[in-house]
Amino acid sequence: MAIRKLLLPLTGTAAGEAALSTALVVARMWDAHVTALHVRVDSRDVAPLAGEGLSGAMIEEMMSATEKESTDRSNAVRAMFDRFVACHGVVVAEPHFRAGATADFASITGREEDLVAQLARLADLTVVPHPEAGDDVSSSDALHAVLFDSGRPVLIAPQKFSSQIGSTIGTRICVAWNGTAESAAAVHAAIPWMQRAEAVRVLSADEYQRRGPGAAELASYLALHGIRPEIAQFRPMERDVGRGVLAAAREFGADMLAMGAYSHSRLRQLILGGVTRHVLENATLPVLMAR
């Protein structure tokens, strides 16, 4: 299935620039539409956090300051959107079936994780800023909302966008395969990309494999879709599977990595670490994830 609609949650401008460039490049590749979504903080949410002992005037002042900060941030994000859309030659228009990439900007008030997850359910792909990029660490809320509550795939943009990334994204794809339902969902999301790629490599390792089909069975399945991948075994580095995956992707010269997210619980990965967590924190290439 072709990619026709992308959702791009933009919390701020630090990590947003790389994510916006990534989304616009993908839109041009697929003649798709990008909806850039900025979720404003509701100033009324400040009141319950103010605690006891504050006067009504003090709470009103806090709400006013929050509203001003929210407006300033929204204006900055919108200015960034306008600048980057013009730079990438993407037409600003409402979603409509047409040839050529288009984009629009929406600013709404509410809880980002709730709104992003809901809107992502009717997007072919959600592009999110890198979760560990500077001031925009809250963008990880959007990432986890899409992964856990939308049923749709997500593309994590690199921390820094370069012309090389823009010209090659999806040309050489690595698939981290371990036989789980999560990795199967990632493969399904990546099939349109792999059908266009010049080279595809399936990465597997005994330490990464779970109960389920192996890499050879995945290759046979992909062949039915006209994709003929290489199969490569990788080794964990210093007993770290995630580090081994990224090293194998670099060795292949991959410009996209597809993998399942959170085969173990998110809490366990936060406490003990895990493949998903390592890749999220350290990947320098676009990562397509699903679960």
CATH of the domain at 276: 3.40.50.620
User: Are residue 202 and residue 281 in the same domain, yes or no?
Assistant: yes
| Same-domain pairing of 143 and 184 | no
In a shared domain, residues 145 and 201: no
- Residue where a domain stops, chosen among 96, 122, 156: 156
16 and 152 assigned to the same domain: yes
Print burial letters for 193-227: b (CB count within 10 Å at least 16), e (below 16): bbeebeebbbbbbeebbeeebebeebbeebeeeeb
146 and 181, same domain (yes or no): no
Asked if residue 161 belongs to a domain, the reply is no
Identify whether 89 is part of a domain.
Answer: yes
- Name the domain count of the chain: 2
Query: Is 266 part of any domain?
Result: yes
Domain limit, last residue, from 156, 178, 206: 156
pLDDT values of the chain reduced to their tens digit, one per residue, 291 residues: 789 999 999 987 777 899 999 999 999 999 999 999 999 877 666 555 555 566 667 667 676 776 777 788 889 999 999 999 999 999 999 888 877 999 999 999 988 889 999 999 999 999 998 876 444 444 577 888 899 999 999 999 998 888 777 778 999 999 999 999 999 999 999 999 999 999 999 999 998 989 999 999 999 999 999 999 999 999 998 788 999 999 999 999 999 999 999 866 555 445 444 888 889 889 999 999 998
The domain in which residue 268 lies consists of 170-290
Domain boundary residue among 156, 185, 220?
156
Do 222 and 264 reside in the same domain of the chain?
A: yes
Q: Give the pTM.
A: 0.88
Considering the domain architecture, whether residues 148 and 209 belong to the same structural domain is answered as no
Asked if 196 and 151 sit in the same domain, the reply is no
Residue 164 lies inside a defined structural domain of this protein: no
